[in-house]
Structure 1
Amino acid sequence: MAKRILTIGIELASPNVEGRDFEDRISLLDWDIVLFRPVIDKFKYDSIQTFQGKASLSESSSFSLKESCEHWRREIKQAFDNGRTIIVFLPPIDEVFIDTGKREYSGTGRNQKTTRIVDFYSNYNAIPISYSPVLASGTSIKLTTLGQELLGFYWAEFADLSEFKVLLPSETTGTTLTTKIGDKPVGAVLRSKTSTGSLVLLPDIQFDRDEFYLDEVGEDESPWTPEGERFAAKIIGSLVALDKSLHSSAEITPEPAWATDSVFALKKEETFLRELLDAEREVEAAQKRKEDAKDRLSGAGRLRALLYEKGRPLERALIEALEILGFRATSYKEGSSEFDVIFESDEGRLLGEAEGKDNKAINIDKLRQLAMNIHEDLLRDEVSSPAKGVLFGNGFRLLPPASRETQFTQKCITAAASSGTALISTSEIFSVARYLSNSDDPAFAKSCRDSLISGNGLVTMPAPPADLDTETITQVDQRNLIESHEPRRADQQKA
């Protein structure tokens, strides 16, 4: 039966393999051979900060990176224990700072400073090995005796294409490849003691060479060149042969079912079994805490819907933001009457409509709908005077706020000014609500409410104090950074 082969972080021009991204969450047990290359570039795309010369990831990207690395570390270990062959091509160490979610505060009120607590992290956190590779590169590599036994065929084909990007510790077991000078380990095969599983660590190969891709590709055409297809066929054949060699040399007979009967159990096994059960209960409890924390995290970030949403999600985020500003806010639906939000405070009573547009500004149609709603609201017995109308717009919502044009058409702005209606972008509401959610500033909140109540036409909210909630960089003790390129650092650092 043909081997089922999966690649992660690697593209091969072959219909006989399935490729998945590093960000995916899949089990590795469905495949016989896994080719894995831990590359974390995608997590750094939204990193606008650097610290100590390295990318400092946002809170969201930090969480996603850590979750992905933990997933693959767990999946590789499980596949290894269940007899699979996992082949890891060792790329350069890619070190970043991740946001731990912890904060330290100094000062009070408008002078408050926020210090973000970060931790050191790297792409090698995704591999279940206990030692720390060191960053180095070169092409001068030789086989060890074990390497000649296991990797002879593979190395004959790919020695010229291989380049080590890291050095493994000298005490690495199962070393198969070393530097020609100094005998530093750059490749190894780790064998499971309880199954036929193997973790194969190999020097890196450039899988995305230009000559593997066509310059122009028509619809439904393959993007690969014949050279790319030949390379894929050759490396797959070599690794399938390596897998066969590893399994044939494994001196392990699968334990028969009858041998697991308690009558054959050893005393040490009972002790370790109790430890395992305790550990599994701790894992279950930790998983529950993790799920609860994810739910709370999702709830805590609802305000960001003001930047990109439309419809009901935008309305819900708007109500939450208005409550942060000090309004009593709610949606209204009774019979045929339905209003996005009615909000009031000691300063006055307002009725709002919210509208999001993908790639254009908010036009006058929604303004007419708002005027009709205000009239309909006034017909209610409990309402004695017209509410102030506010149209909340999220125009060009798929673009970053800084890249958007004016979010209301000129006709809408002119009509709003003449009718005493306020127009305001939801991204401005987000800015002030974000500030007030982190600060007790009643005077600023009142100025925001006043802007909505007194504003006509296009309204701009007061600017939040610039120095509050500003993430500052605090210099760390340099002694924590002297260690040579370790992919895991225990000491947290401040950024």
Structure 2
Amino acid sequence: MKAIATVNFNVPTVEDEFGYHSGASLLDFDIVIFSPSFPWFERQHFTNGGSCISIDSSRSLLQSMSHWRREILEAVKRGSTVFVILDQSQTEQFATGITSPRKNEINYQTEPNTNYSAIPRNLSLRNTSGRKINVKNVLFKPLFETLKDILQYKVILESDSVSQDFVARDGSTLGGTATFKDAKGHLVLLPYFDFNELVEEQENQEFWSAEALRLSNAFIKQLVEIDKCLKRDGERSPPPEWVAQFDLPEAADQIQEKMAEIDREISKLANARKLENEKYENYEGYRALLYATGNELEKIIEKALQLIGYDVSGLRIGDLEIDHILTSPEGYRMIGEAEGKDNSAIAISKFRQLESNINEDFDQEEVEVPAAGILFGNGYRLKKPSDRPQQFTDKCLTNAKRLQTSLVRTCDLYSVVVHIIDNPDDEIFKKQCRDAIECSRGEVVRFPNHDGPSGVPTPPPSATRR
């Protein structure tokens, strides 16, 4: 039995169906059906006309496209057959950052990307439309006969790296097969179709029609046969459905049982590997402390602080939004802000938001003592940490002393995290790290060495919540 999954595409009789942003692994599947169509995204409109995809949606789409490009390539290398449904090519402007050259003015930095960036193959596509499709490769004729009533084309392939299996009247390529060097599998590009055209509505609810279910079953059978033929590297036609009425020898049934048992073992190992890979990616994610900025930096700082022993929470009341409220096991309370700079030091400007957050927090009825401030900086983040100049400007250092704010270089947090992960029971070291943060008011935090007590003094009893 072939394991089949769909991504961003509905097939009525396939149970394993993944959304575009699911981040799912294709490791468990022999056959994958993938649609490169963009999912819903948020658009940012400009005051002088025009628009782009919002920063949050851009970040999410870019991450998902990179994920599927990697997953599809790995699936093909392992031996899977990935069928891509050729929808229209869509190029959008992705917002990658913003600048504010003048008050009340925001400029968006953008870069163009196409929905076909999710495919691990450089495809030259031209949008068009039509329904007259000819099949040159006999391998795909039964599939064409199954889908011919809903099959159409939305793009023409202008690439020599794809075989001409489906063509237009003028010989233009409408679909075909692409292979990869040293890969056991195939990437099959199919003209467009949509089972959603066969949905029925009853009492304000939508159901798959009987025709949709019939076509879906026939479609899946054809994909399985195509997959088998491609793996045999032959030009043999997939057998028609009636061939299944002829029984194979009993020895074939025994082999099939053995293969099913092997498949079950493979599935168990694949699930175990998936869990280990998730753990690995979690640890690998802490490297973002060395180079990240924005929301990514804020999230990984929160995880690092939790490892050290802090309770990290946020506060959202009306327009008030505080991302990092830190509380130590001893009750010491701090409010943090984070910033990363590509090729410069952290400047004084971030203190305005930090001071405002501390005052707003102190204004809450249950807070009796102002929280201490902490500024996390990742200055010169594109340079190797050992090559970076001073990561906080002189004004930033002066203001930190004035406000008794602790300054933390996020790259320093990385070695702390590594030690704690490798030594999860080292509570003495965690306490030393918290003491270092809480006692370095007005200074850059110097974390303790890993090999013993650092002589870090006991923190002041202020900034606690009663």
Q: TM-score, normalised by structure 1?
A: 0.51
Matches of 1:305 and 1:72, distance apart in 2: 35
Residue in structure 2 matched with residue 212 of structure 1 by the alignment: 199
Partner of residue 38 from structure 2, selected from 32, 37, 40: 40
Residue in structure 2 matched with residue 59 of structure 1 by the alignment: 55
Residue in structure 2 matched with residue 31 of structure 1 by the alignment: 29
Return the letter of the residue paired with 1:57.
I
Return the letter of the residue paired with 1:200.
V
Q: CA RMSD in A?
A: 4.3
Return the letter of the residue paired with 1:131.
L
Whether 2:352 is the aligned partner of 1:341: answer no
Residue in structure 1 matched with residue 218 of structure 2 by the alignment: 234
CA positional deviation for 1:225: 3.1
Matches of 2:156 and 2:146, distance apart in 1: 22
Partner of residue 73 from structure 2, selected from 72, 77, 80: 77
CA change 1:191–1:299 in 2 (3 A) is closer
Residue in structure 2 matched with residue 406 of structure 1 by the alignment: none
Is this contact kept in 1: 2:335–2:354, CA < 8 A? no
Whether 2:173 is the aligned partner of 1:185: answer yes
Return the letter of the residue paired with 1:80.
V
Matches of 1:37 and 1:19, distance apart in 2: 12
CA change 1:170–1:125 in 2 (3 A) is closer
* Structure with larger RCO (C-alpha < 8 A, sep 6+): 1
Count of residues in Structure 1 that have an aligned counterpart in Structure 2: 296
> Kindly, what percent of the aligned residue pairs are identical?
24
Partner of residue 174 from structure 1, selected from 160, 163, 166: 163
Is this contact kept in 2: 1:172–1:185, CA < 8 A? no
The aligned runs of 1:292-303 (5 Å cut-off) are 296-299=294-297
CA positional deviation for 1:204: 0.5
Matches of 2:18 and 2:177, distance apart in 1: 24
The aligned runs of 1:5-24 (5 Å cut-off) are 5-14=4-13, 16-24=14-22
Residue-by-residue CA offset, 1:400-429 (whole Å, 9 max, x unaligned): xxxxxxxxxxxxxxxxxxxxxxxxxxxxxx
Whether 2:151 is the aligned partner of 1:131: answer no
Partner of residue 164 from structure 1, selected from 128, 150, 153: 153
Is this contact kept in 2: 1:4–1:17, CA < 8 A? no
Residue in structure 2 matched with residue 120 of structure 1 by the alignment: 112
The aligned runs of 1:80-479 (5 Å cut-off) are 80-101=76-97, 103=98, 106=101, 110=103, 113-144=105-136, 147-148=137-138, 150-169=139-158, 171-180=160-169, 182-209=170-197, 211-216=198-203, 223-249=207-233, 296-299=294-297, 306=316, 324=352, 327=355, 341-342=361-362, 352-353=363-364, 370=365
Structure 2 segments unaligned to the other structure (5+ residues): 236-283, 303-312, 327-333, 338-349, 371-395, 397-466
Q: TM-score, normalised by structure 2?
A: 0.54
Matches of 1:217 and 1:100, distance apart in 2: 41
CA positional deviation for 1:89: 0.5
Return the letter of the residue paired with 1:7.
T
Residue-by-residue CA offset, 1:225-282 (whole Å, 9 max, x unaligned): 323221221211111111111112269xxxxxxxxxxxxxxxxxxxxxxxxxxxxxxx
Residue-by-residue CA offset, 1:461-489 (whole Å, 9 max, x unaligned): xxxxxxxxxxxxxxxxxxxxxxxxxxxxx
Is this contact kept in 1: 2:315–2:321, CA < 8 A? no
